[in-house]
Amino acid sequence: MNFEHWKRIVIKVGSALIAPTNTGCSSEYLLSIANFIKQCRSSGIQVVLVSSGSIAAGAHLFSPNKDSKNTDNIIIKKAMAAAGQAEMMATWDTLFDFPTAQVLLTHADLRKRDRYESIRDTIDTLLEHDILPIVNENDAVTTDKLKVGDNDNLSAMVATAAHADTLVICSDIEGLFTKNPHLHQDAKLVSDVYQIDEDIYAMAGGATSSVGTGGMKTKIEAAEKAISHGIDTYIVNGFKKQTFQAMLAGDNPGTHFFSDKNPMHDGVHWMRHTTRALGELIVGDQYKIGHNEASDLLVADDLLSVNGDFSSGDVVLLRKHNGDKLAKVKTNYSSCLLNFVADSTNQDFSEELDKTQDPIISKQYIALMES
Ligand code: GLU
């Protein structure tokens, strides 16, 4: 590992590092991380920080008696996040002698291609001006439908949107172990991973953190997203200053997930790993689809029915009448209009649409289902 080859890294820091006791922020574990960020920047490496901690930082402001029944209540958590986000940003600010910028996102921003690209533009511009972007999920406005849910997966989505080459995820243990090290003394640290498969997920088990929402599983999910975009990913122990000294010395102190030699095309990666299908287009059994082939042009006649409520530009699942899932695709029309098109009594309208308007699905954004 040679950190000097890095050009743009994303470093993810979890709630347990920022607010270890759930009583507001503490810089105890952040100093060595801040120092690492400074060292990277002075070596010419651009850094994006994905920081959790708003809920953990804000929790102590809510009366335990009054709100005790509600600590798992999403409404209270949103209020905690709104209150704690400012404290979290202020804590980071005290550790840096350069400007920082707050970037708050939800999954609704990442799954719209134009907004996803606008996130990239903002991060690019901040970095060009030597400002450190500090990204978090905008928990104050999220709902179950809108959120990413954990900052491990968010950090991978940010790393791909920002075209980073390296993702460092700070954990509370050294990295991925062959078994849960809290339960098995013979558990061994896995230093290098070249492929993420079921065995790797089995090692991660269901281990979770007591503060924050992630666990080893969400870190592996994040690594899988990142490496398939060509991003080298590390899971390291963020609590130990030796971790950061080792990385600056070019050593791997944790688990290194090697990036794919043939990364996915950015658009296909975004479709597969960032978007969620918000509805379904059901097509006739004779309909075929492949990348960039003439048959990709779905015409009104192919469309049998539409499920769900979606807008133009959303991603939907293309499914055959017999149930086979074909692909995730970006639709150019809303469910309302496509329901009208699928209705055979509106054939004149459908023929006109095929002839004169944008195709039903965007040819540029098709992620075929793995068979
Ligand atoms: N966005 C959440 C927060 O700032 C953290 C989510 C997570 O723990 O992964 O509190």
By percentage, how much of the chain surpasses pLDDT 70?
A: 93
User: Which amino acid type is present at position 250?
Assistant: G
Q: Are strands 315-320 and 361-368 parallel, antiparallel or unpaired?
A: unpaired
Q: What is the mean pLDDT of residues 359-371?
A: 84
User: Which amino acid type is present at position 138?
Assistant: N
Give 265-278 pLDDT, tens digit per residue. Answer: 999 999 999 999 99
**What pLDDT does 371 receive?**
57
Any idea which of 17-26, 41-50, 233-242, 244-253 has the lowest mean pLDDT? 17-26
**What pLDDT does 209 receive?**
53
Measured in Å, residue 15 CA sits from the centre of ligand 1 at: 6
Using CB atoms within 10 Å of the CB of residue 120, give its burial: 0 to 12 exposed, 13 to 18 middle, 19+ buried: middle
**C-alpha distances out from residue 194 to 190, 191, 227, 235, 257, Å:** 11, 10, 9, 14, 6
Residue 131 near residue 92 (C-beta atoms within 8 A): no
Q: How far apart are CA 133 and CA 47, in angstroms?
A: 8
Give 50-79 pLDDT, tens digit per residue. Answer: 999 999 999 999 876 655 555 568 889 999
Give 172-231 pLDDT, tens digit per residue. Answer: 999 999 988 888 899 999 999 999 999 999 998 865 555 555 589 999 999 999 999 999
**C-alpha distances out from residue 79 to 56, 68, 90, 289, Å:** 11, 14, 18, 46
Tokens standing for residue 141: 């406005």
Measured in Å, residue 21 CA sits from the centre of ligand 1 at: 15
Q: How confident is the model at residue 291 (pLDDT cuts 50, 70, 90)?
A: low
For residue 55 and ligand 1, the question of a CB distance below 6 A is answered with yes
Domains within the chain, CATH numbers bracketed: 3-269 (3.40.1160.10), 277-368 (2.30.130.10)
**What pLDDT does 72 receive?**
63
Sheet holding 315-320, edge to edge: 303-308, 279-283, 315-320, 325-331, 361-368
Atom of ligand 1 nearest to the CA of 150: 9
Give the helix/strand (H/E) hosting 157: helix 151-161
**What pLDDT does 165 receive?**
97
Q: What is the mean pLDDT of residues 92-96?
A: 97
Q: How confident is the model at residue 293 (pLDDT cuts 50, 70, 90)?
A: low
Of residues 346 and 127, more confidently modeled: 127
Q: What is the mean pLDDT of residues 279-305?
A: 81
Tokens standing for residue 35: 């120092």
Tokens standing for residue 247: 């990385």
**What pLDDT does 63 receive?**
76
Q: How far apart are CA 176 and CA 254, in angstroms?
A: 8
Query: Average model confidence (pLDDT) for the chain?
Result: 91
Q: How far apart are CA 354 and CA 358, in angstroms?
A: 8
The β-bridge partners of 103 are 135
**What pLDDT does 66 receive?**
59
Q: How far apart are CA 44 and CA 5, in angstroms?
A: 10
Give the helix/strand (H/E) hosting 39: helix 30-42
Q: Closest Cα to atom 8, ligand 1: which residue?
A: 212
**What pLDDT does 65 receive?**
60
Using CB atoms within 10 Å of the CB of residue 187, give its burial: 0 to 12 exposed, 13 to 18 middle, 19+ buried: middle
For residue 314 and ligand 1, the question of a CB distance below 6 A is answered with no
Give 326-336 pLDDT, tens digit per residue. Answer: 999 999 999 99
Is pLDDT of 290 > 80?
Answer: no
Q: How far apart are CA 135 and CA 113, in angstroms?
A: 18
Three-class secondary structure of residue 73 per DSSP:
coil
The total number of residues written for the chain in this structure:
371
Q: What is the mean pLDDT of residues 289-303?
A: 73
For residue 87 and ligand 1, the question of a CB distance below 6 A is answered with no
**What pLDDT does 157 receive?**
98
**What pLDDT does 171 receive?**
94
For residue 230 and ligand 1, the question of a CB distance below 6 A is answered with no
Q: What is the mean pLDDT of residues 276-286?
A: 93
Is pLDDT of 108 > 70?
Answer: yes
Radius of gyration of the chain (CA): 23
Residue 67: phi and psi, rounded to 5, are: -110, 5
For residue 18 and ligand 1, the question of a CB distance below 6 A is answered with no
Atom of ligand 1 nearest to the CA of 85: 4
Q: For residue 328, which of 367, 289, 371 has the smallest C-alpha distance?
A: 367
Give 112-161 pLDDT, tens digit per residue. Answer: 999 999 999 999 999 999 999 999 999 999 888 889 999 999 999 999 99
Residue 284: phi and psi, rounded to 5, are: -65, 155
For residue 136 and ligand 1, the question of a CB distance below 6 A is answered with yes
What's the distance, Cα to Cα, between the start and end of the chain in Å? 35
Q: For residue 126, which of 103, 144, 142, 105 has the smallest C-alpha distance?
A: 103
Measured in Å, residue 43 CA sits from the centre of ligand 1 at: 29
**What pLDDT does 269 receive?**
94
Tokens standing for residue 56: 């953990």
Q: What is the mean pLDDT of residues 227-250?
A: 97
For residue 279 and ligand 1, the question of a CB distance below 6 A is answered with no
| Whole-prediction pTM | 0.90
